[in-house]
Structure 1
Amino acid sequence: MIRPVPANSMSHSWSQHQTTRDRAAAASHLGRADASVFSTASTDDPLQEQQISALFCDLNGFSSLVEQTTDLASAYGRINASLNAMLDEVELHEGTVSDFQGDSVLGFWDAKSALIPEAVAACRAAVAIVQRFSTMNTTGLMGEFTPLAPSIGICTGTGLTGPMTVGHLRKQGVFGRPVNSASRLQGLSRKLNIPILIDGATARCVRNSEFDIRSSLRACGRFRLAGMSKAVTVFELMSSPDADLVSMSEAAVRAFVDGDWSGCTTNLKQFPADDGVARILLDQMTARSFQAPSDWDGVITLCGK
């Protein structure tokens, strides 16, 4: 969480004239993840409304780790290493870290920050985060702790970016529907046990690009996320392409949305037993005795984040 800064020091310690030495000292004192979210931009800079891609990343297993540990210092060290891994990949892929709290990081990309389309940059960062945690967990870098796994949501749309101030706190912030939706998609990714979920707008940007992640998109269905009225088309962004799973998922989701639940059930028999998408589609059909309602709109409504 952002630490309070005394109001009378804001114009000196954290202004646009802050020296490299000052920032290095602050980073050393606060820890890199704490210091990185403070903005060096002038508070006079205007907020800009523009297309952005927001990435929300959270760690599965964080709450149980904190609850069960008898060594808070070691647990904090692990979480800090995890936050820095997420922060690194956002920044390496030309994104901005807007905020972090507990085990969560919010990053965003806009036209100014990325040399490639912002949605593509965000997706590449997400894949890199998942791969980095896989390496950290398998090489023993996390010590004796149970491995942590990231769950990530990405949404693309119009948002406000720029210096944001609340009282004496200031950060390089982002605001708008993409941020809320990215958070909800992150929650859904945990429910489905899928590392990365993206919305339809992000998927369209990726598919219209010439970059190497187009073949890694898997249809998951249409969802009305908690607290939101409009349905969102959701895709899994896979770390490595799986053409068979992509094809099977497209057929199953299409049949489900169209109300052809007999065809959907037949398609789902080909899926792995622990597949999250297959599970939620089957749960929805089972709850309705495998008969689509007369007013069926193809949307799965979620009540909780």
Structure 2
Amino acid sequence: MPAPSYKLLAYLAGLNVSRAFALEPGRRYLLGSAEMEPDMLVFPGDRSLSRRQAWLEISGNKLRVERHALASQKLNADEAAAVLELHPGESFTAGKTVFRFLAEADVEPLPDRTYVFSSSAMTFATASHEFRSFITIIEKMPGLMKINESPADFLLALCRTLQAHIPGLHVSAWTIEAGDDAVYPSPIPAAESIEHNNAAEHQKPSRHLLQQALCAQGDECAVSVWHAGEREGVPPGRESLIFSGAQWAMCIAIALAERENFALYATGAHALPGDQINEVQRLFAALGAIAKQHLLAARARERLGQIGQFFSPALRKILFEDLVRADQALQPVEEEAVVCFFDLRGSSLLAEGRDVYAGQNAARQHFALLESILGNAANVIFETGGIVIDFQGDGILACWGVPPGREGAPEHPVEQALLAARQIVELMAEYDWPAIVTESGAAQRCGAGITCGKVLAGLFTAQGQNHTRLSKYAVIGRAVNQAARLEALTKKLGVPILVDGNVARQADNKKFLLRRICNLQPAGMHEVLAVHELVVSPQAGGTGIDENGIALYAAALAHFEHGDFAAAGMALREAPQDAVGRFLEAQITQQFKARPSPTWDGVINFSI
């Protein structure tokens, strides 16, 4: 049996920048990003890789990786990982590069074998005049990319170009739905309208070849191959899966995301010698790699245009510079997050007062003011590590703690959210925005509700057939609803910022002054919330209460929650007479008159 040969495949995930190194047992190799010593393994594609990164040596059937003493980059991002031992098929990382250890036996190719190639396959030179057409097609790719943004349009244009330049070729484009143990191809609309220049009928491709290409390991472009010379090796019953009359068939899998898979399926009417079929394989792999990068870049541009405005410039750079990392970060997850709903007071009244409907100039002025306020509020959110989920009229829904696991995420999202809310409320005092007297009797310019809890967060995409219509980063869950309820309660309680008990428990009391107002069941909710005020100055619309005032209020609240309403009223007279005090006084009077049952639990119920 032939002795196995070994390779080290180095690639930058998502960029198809790769290089393969042959490894021989018994030799010691130095790996790095620059040729500092003779016979080094050099991968210059990653600037973050150390010039002298690691020593490599094959021992038995394993690869020993030893971090170089001068290396600044860690192995597997682990400071303690000084030495690794890899079996064939396993990988390690250094800098932004993934290194995969491969062992391949020099055996004859099998029918329906899957070949995986990196984009470096483009660089090989072929002297075969029969395949100059492929080079012409590759040269035409930039033009196709400019005029065809959607995956469907681009792949159809590519099919037409291939068939126009290569006699005897039948090629079609497909979307692929992957099941647990099978794949289900569907022709891209208008595929039937492509004029074929051979006699092959338009029919479904070999699911076997599709599955082989789609399930190939790794991030590179995969090409599954069959040719008539291997017909004897095709398992019984599988012959029908190959195009009738075809001499060879190839499938290029283009996987853009977990649920977004495409394939180009090509068959040829002319037989090809073994060396030429290998050339075609490599050229198709190069073509597939280019097509995949175009589609990924187009999708990133579309996504950046649709949701990029909701992320800070720093986060946009992190999320959209690396397409693979962006996909991972934006995947739907259940995560604990801090949610803030912010809303302006009296926007409609102000618009009517300025008679914005009387002329375009007044309307523009009103919108310019709104844009300035909401734009500066969004900047505060970005600066504190948050993201804007949505602009809702004259309000903002923001989050901290998602997307999860990203670089630059705030270590203490609760404190960052509290800081942002306080800064936004204080910022409102600088604008020519009138304070509106709410039902509590307090004058307010804005309100904010902040909660902390589990949410479903991720990229939500409304898809039409074979193309993306709209993408949006969304958060869904009880915490989102509760934040909106708390914001609405700021009008009734007379303070600009309300937070729930989860937020209050995680807040640093040295940085933020909080007062528990009551336990309350909001209208339309079954849950009881521990409602707290984030204290801000009277100039910003807050109560400005101090720690002594909070203690006096807490004493009155304790009597109230125990059902001793007379004692609660007496204690409340010692506390500051602010909007919150007046609210509790009204509740004491109401409960005293109602004579609550012995089952009184101290919860103020707004749901009835």
Does the pair score TM above 0.5?
yes
Which of residues 494, 517, 539 is equivalent to 1:220? Answer: 517
Instruction: Name the CA distance, whole Å, in 2 between partners of 1:44 and 1:252.
Output: 47
Corresponding residue number in structure 2 for 1:248: 552
What is the CA-CA distance between 1:74 and the residue it aligns to?
A: 1.4
- Is this contact kept in 2: 1:218–1:245, CA < 8 A? no
In the TM superposition, what are the counterparts of 1:99-138 in structure 2 within 5 Å? 99-110=390-401, 112=405, 114-134=409-429, 136-137=430-431
* Candidates 153, 157, 175, aligned match of 2:453: 157
**Gap runs ≥5 in structure 2:** 1-148, 152-294, 321-325, 356-361, 436-443, 464-468, 538-544
CA displacement at 1:288 relative to structure 2: 3.2
Q: 1:184 aligns with which of 468, 485, 494?
A: 485
Q: Which residue of 2 aligns with 1:199?
A: 500
Taking the TM superposition and a 5 Å limit, the aligned residue runs for 1:36-185 are: 36-37=309-310, 41-42=326-327, 45-70=330-355, 71-110=362-401, 112=405, 114-134=409-429, 136-137=430-431, 142=432, 146-147=434-435, 149-166=445-462, 168-185=469-486
C-alpha distance 92-121 of structure 1, shift in aligned 2 (>3 A): same
More strand per residue: 1 or 2? 2
- Give the TM-score normalised by structure 2: 0.42
Deviation at 1:131, TM superposition (A): 1.5
Q: Any idea what the Cα deviations from partners look like across 1:249-292, whole Å, max 9, x if unmatched? A: 2112222111121121112223444x232222222232233444
2:565–2:591: 8 Å Cα contact kept in structure 1? no
Any idea what the Cα deviations from partners look like across 1:148-183, whole Å, max 9, x if unmatched? 722000000111112123453322221111110000
Which protein has greater RCO, CA pairs closer than 8 Å, 6+ apart? 1
Structure having the higher helix fraction is 1
Partner of 1:15: 299
C-alpha displacement of 1:43: 9.4
Contact 2:525–2:607 (CA under 8 A) maintained in structure 1:
no
Separation of aligned partners in 1, 2:298 and 2:485: 32
Aligned-partner residue type, residue 579 of structure 2: G
| 1:114 counterpart SS class | coil
Q: Distance in 2 between matches of 1:289 and 1:14?
A: 66
* Cα deviation, residue 85, structure 1: 2.0
| Higher gyration radius (CA) | 2
Q: Distance in 2 between matches of 1:129 and 1:12?
A: 37
Q: CA deviation at 1:35?
A: 6.5
Q: Structure 1 residues 115 and 45, CA, compared in 2 at 3 Å: closer, same or farther?
A: closer
Counterparts in 2 of 1:64 and 1:270: CA distance versus 1, 3 Å: farther
In the TM superposition, what is the alpha-carbon distance from 1:300 to its structure 2 partner? Answer: 0.9
* Cα deviation 1:91-113 (Å, max 9, x = unaligned): 11000100111111000011646
| Superposed displacement of residue 245, structure 1 | 2.1
Query: What do the CA deviations read for 1:20-75 (whole angstroms, capped 9, x no partner)?
Result: xx85xx9xxxxxxx962389654994211111110000011212112332122211
Any stretches of 5+ residues in structure 1 without a counterpart? 1-7, 27-33
CA–CA distance in 1 between the matches of 2:390 and 2:415?
21
State the distance in 2 between where 1:200 and 1:295 align: 23
Cα 1:17/1:78, change in 2 over 3 Å = closer
The verdict on how the C-alpha distance between 1:270 and 1:61 changes in structure 2, with shifts beyond 3 A counting, is farther
State the aligned residue count: 274
Provide the residue aligned with 1:231 in structure 2. 528
Partner of 2:574: 270
Q: Which moved more, 1:223-232 or 1:278-287?
A: 278-287
In 2, the alpha carbon distance for the partners of 1:230 and 1:12 equals 44
Q: Using the alignment, how far apart are the partners of 1:127 and 1:228 within structure 2?
A: 27
What whole-Å deviation, never above 9, does each CA across 1:111-132 have from its counterpart, x for those lacking one? Answer: 6463332111111111111121
2:310 is aligned with what amino acid?
A: V
1:181 counterpart letter in structure 2: Q
Secondary structure of residue in 2 paired with 1:230: coil
Q: Is the alpha carbon distance of 1:59 and 1:282 closer, same or farther for their aligned partners in structure 2, counting shifts above 3 Å?
A: same
CA-CA distance at 1:203 after TM superposition: 0.5
Work out whether residues 515 and 532 of structure 2, in 8 Å CA contact, stay in contact via their aligned partners in 1: yes
What is the root-mean-square deviation of aligned Cα atoms in Å? 2.9
Correspondences of 1:273-288 after superposition (within 5 Å): 273=577, 275-288=578-591
Counterpart contact for 1:152–1:189, Cα < 8 Å: yes
